[in-house]
Amino acid sequence: SQTIHQWPATLVQPVGSPLSLECTVEGTSNPNLYWYRQAAGRGLQLLFYSVGIGQISSEVPQNLSASRPQDRQFILSSKKLLLSDSGFYLCAWDHRDSPLHFGNGTRLTVT
Amino acid sequence: GDSVTQMEGPVTLSEEAFLTINCTYTATGYPSLFWYVQYPGEGLQLLLKATKADDKGSNKGFEATYRKETTSFHLEKGSVQVSDSAVYFCALSDPGTNAGKSTFGDGTTLTVKP
């Protein structure tokens, strides 16, 4: 069966520090991969998506970047965190015409 | 562009009460419609979906009917349990678009008290 792993579960980082969140998918090949941010009391904002290795599309301009070094690995990064980067970050995958599967998320607090 | 509007929460109900969470949408064409549920500290899970007008999605006692004439997809459950306490998201995706590029509502928090 397919599973998606996302870590860490929680993270507290100072302003100006770097960030690296990792997501891996097991049990499927060539998934579409997504990073979302969920602000408190708000819906999901799609940040990045990837349809293949090295292929990244950005949905909103921001302080973050994404990379896909392997088929089932998706990384969210920042060189210097801002206070406004705090939030709940969710990784997800799907295939065409399949449901969307989410990881358990990372709660990021920038202090 | 596409948009999804959910009833604002939080919603607090007693166990065994009837639940309705309203969802209306704006989209061109005939989107697929979804309800996702997010339990505390977790990611979202697909609860149910409908892909064409008059379809009824159902799962775990929850139901929602795709109403094209009113552009709505209201979530209902006849008798809620404490374990249904969660945040519920309505979402749509355009035809031929992957689910990951769905437009999501802001979520409605449901608390069920014993």
Please indicate whether residue A41 or residue B61 has the higher confidence score (pLDDT): B61
pLDDT in tens, A35-55: 999 987 778 899 999 999 999
CA-closest candidate to residue B13, choices B109, B89, B88: B109
Q: Give me B68's structure tokens.
A: 């094209």
- Put simply, the answer to whether A99 touches B46 (Cβ < 8 Å) is yes
DSSP letter at B105 equals -
Distance CA B5, CA A98 (A): 24
Best to test chain A binding among B36, B59, B98 (most A CBs inside 10 Å): B98
Best to test chain B binding among A36, A38, A55, A100 (most B CBs inside 10 Å): A100
DSSP letter at B78 equals S
Q: Give me B89's structure tokens.
A: 């998201």
Q: Nearest CA of chain B to the CA of A44: how many Å?
A: 6
pLDDT in tens, B63-77: 999 999 999 999 999
- Whole-number pLDDT of residue A2: 79
Can you tell me whether residue B100 is helix, strand or coil? Answer: helix
With cut-offs at 50, 70 and 90, classify the pLDDT of residue B15. very high
Q: What are phi and psi of B82, to 5 degrees?
A: -55, -35
Q: Which of A41, A49, A105 sits opposite B100 (nearest CB)?
A: A49
With cut-offs at 50, 70 and 90, classify the pLDDT of residue B29. confident
- Whole-number pLDDT of residue A4: 94
